[in-house]
Structure 1
Amino acid sequence: MAELTAELARSRAAREAEQQQRLQADDRLSVLLEVLPAAVILVDGRGRIDRFNPAAEALFEGLGWGRRWQEVREDNLLSQWGESDWLLRNRRRLSVSSRALNDGGEILLLVDVTAQRELEERAARQDRLADMGEMAAQLAHQIRTPLATALLYGGQLGRDDLDPAQRRQFAATLVEGLKHTERLVSDMLAFSRGGHFQPNSVSLREVVVEAVDSLGPRLADEEITLKLHLDNASECQVLGNRDALRGVLCNLLDNALYHAGERGHLQVSLEVSEGDRVRLRVEDDGPGIPPDIRERIFDPFFTTRERGTGLGLAVAQAVVLAHGGDIGLCDSALGGACFRIELPRLDAAETGETA
């Protein structure tokens, strides 16, 4: 009997000690939750809020024990990017992580990153302003020369001693300078708008045919041989802006024509590539692009053409990137330059009417 009594006493003492340890652990957890700067919410297996800390209470209106977490979340959430980036109705930005628990519930850690995101956006805005300032300075520099030429010849037109032939020559030079300035401004606008468009289903095959047709007279005048490879091109549908993509292709063809010269050879190929992508290649048999300038060809205002604006390839890159694709140089079978564009292919199930 004495041994049984002692055993019961030891068992009771062990249970009390275990309970005391649990209470102490619960106490420490409560203190930890109180002082944590991040919000913590514990959701039980029924989807109801079991515990939360003051930081969570400050972020979520209506947060309370026993409430359904899904309801509280929907009442407070304004928008969401992925699973971990939330914007609340009170304009707080949260970085969210969660971990499943053994009882079917979950614990959520929500970090308020509003100040951090504001700093990032401010820094990005400063970078954009700096880029705009640099671009404006470059544009002013580029415009100054043709504008000065136009002013010079415009002033000469008022002279009484000019014969008709000189007057026509000066007028033509003046108009050419103004046209060059207009091209600079137009390309600059196209560059600034490169990432803004209304997306629609676009047939790249139709874009290629339209671009080539628009250059028909020039191809004939310069006796250019152009080969089209459009195998399986009917499947080359993308989501984007038809006019912007046609402008990219026209620009690449214009460069190819310039470098190929009279009686040159061009090749345009369009195909579905691996990874459910669409690949477009524009090749010429010109001298190619020297290795020492390849890294600069997409820089705004960089050009090797005497009357070039230096914005054509920069605009092309901006448009392609805005379509979720990429553009670059590759080896050409013709021996000259080859520009390769890859774009995400629009799934047949998503394809509606072409834009």
Structure 2
Amino acid sequence: MRLTSISDETARKALLDSRGFVRWIYIARLSLAVALLVAALLAGGRPDPTATIVASLTFAAAVAFTAGSAWTSLVQRRPLGATFFYLQSLFDLGLVTAVVHVTGRSASPFVALYILVIAAGSLLLPPGGGLLIAALGNVVFFTDVILSRESAIDVALWLQLGIFAIVALGSGFIAGRLRQGAVGREQLAAELVQARLEAADILHNIRSGIVTVDVEGRLLYANPAASSLLGADLEARISQPFLDWLEPIAPILAGALRQSVTTRERIVRAEGEVTRDGTTMTIGVTTTAPEAPAEEGHGLATSTAIFQDISNNKRLESLRVRAERLEAVAEVSASLAHEIRNPLASIRSAVEQLAQARHATEHDRVLGALVMRESDRLSRLLGEFLDFARTRATVIEPVDLNDVVRGATNLAAAHPSRADDVVVSCSTPEAPIVIEADEDLLHRAVFNLALNAVQAVPRGGRVDVDVLPLPPDEVPAGAGFGGGAVALRVTDDGPGIPLDLRERMFDPFFTTKEGGTGLGLPVVHRAVEAHRGLVLVDTGTHGTRFTVLLPLAQSGSNEES
């Protein structure tokens, strides 16, 4: 936090309202000038011409000077600096001297007005200014008394001069202490303003949503991230009932805030869903407990919730669990395939010999052919099991992803299972996108995804295969794509994947296709994982999108290629 020094001008502003103070000085000055003029004109007996002239000139000067000062300070509202206050104090010294001169000099009852001028100067002027005005006042008063020669320099005169000095010292000391306290308050206020600005800047730019509500459920604060996550302009809902509006959108967030503000319990890492614009995302919520309930008189009870989109985190966790499950299934599949394949080959050979024996009947030959056909089918299935278990990236080299995607898409578009009038579109950037990959394995994964999409859409449907660089802000947190990533998106406008099948679509041997093995998507997942990538699925009641995220090759690899 940056601290700023406090100037004398700032200290004066903190000590008192300078403009309000000089306004009272203007009133007192004009009142004194008017009183002096009236006293000179209406004095009993014959008026003293000299006193009348002095009073008239003093009145005219006071009106002119005060009008100019008021125009500067109150109308134009220019900054009031030390020069302005010195001029005011000097003029007031002259005005008081004129009053004292006309009303009896050292015997004048208005000598005490010097004290007011000195005290005002101590408050308005920088440190030491009050002493300077007091010294100048002593000189002017002493000179006026000496030049008049009407009064001897006695103890009373010296006492008056001493009082002026004491008033200047006392006023200066008090003003200094007040100014020091005001500077401390002003500095503290500056620090608080700076801290508030820094906190506001942090809250404005943080990616987590932050909302604060009171005990009645009214919204007190919401940062921009909260509006973005909830899909609404929360700024417009400040001071309005919030929890009832929030309930259908984010039940977990509304419930956490309500529980926290009423029971003073802190909610930590609650998870729930937010539904907005027909889409659903998972959020994590943490709340703060209010300091004190309103009924105890310690302040209004509030609760603040911090929440963020953890959909990507949940996806990554799901991918990790899926990868572990597929790895375990692959090991079991490989072991069982090896254990079954050899006995199956022996059984097929024995049945073939029995079916071809001389004494075999026609019925025996039909049964033998059936057994051999099913044995061949099981052998092919075991081969697929082994292929699934052996899904590894064996030859890693720089590969242009665009070429792989175009080749696999064209092959899927030419597949016999493609329905009539199905449009298959492939869009790739003009510049090569180089990744480090096993080209054969990657081709197999892309072909499986494209073929699944082609087979999922009915007649007249559409399949789009797109390759595009992934912006850094769209890379899932924790994905580990430090050198950048590329996205392969396979989108179809088919019927979508039913809700009860979404959790099982990557399970080995699970299929809804007649004659399918249920190994297509598991192979895709293992192939992408072998390239340190991710497979994400977005589906609903209409259409499905598979997104494959792959890390880009490092610059060294690009140069070698």
TM-score normalised by the chain length of structure 1: 0.50
Higher relative contact order (CA 8 A, sep 6+): 1
- Please say which structure displays the higher CA radius of gyration: 2
More strand by proportion, 1 or 2? 1
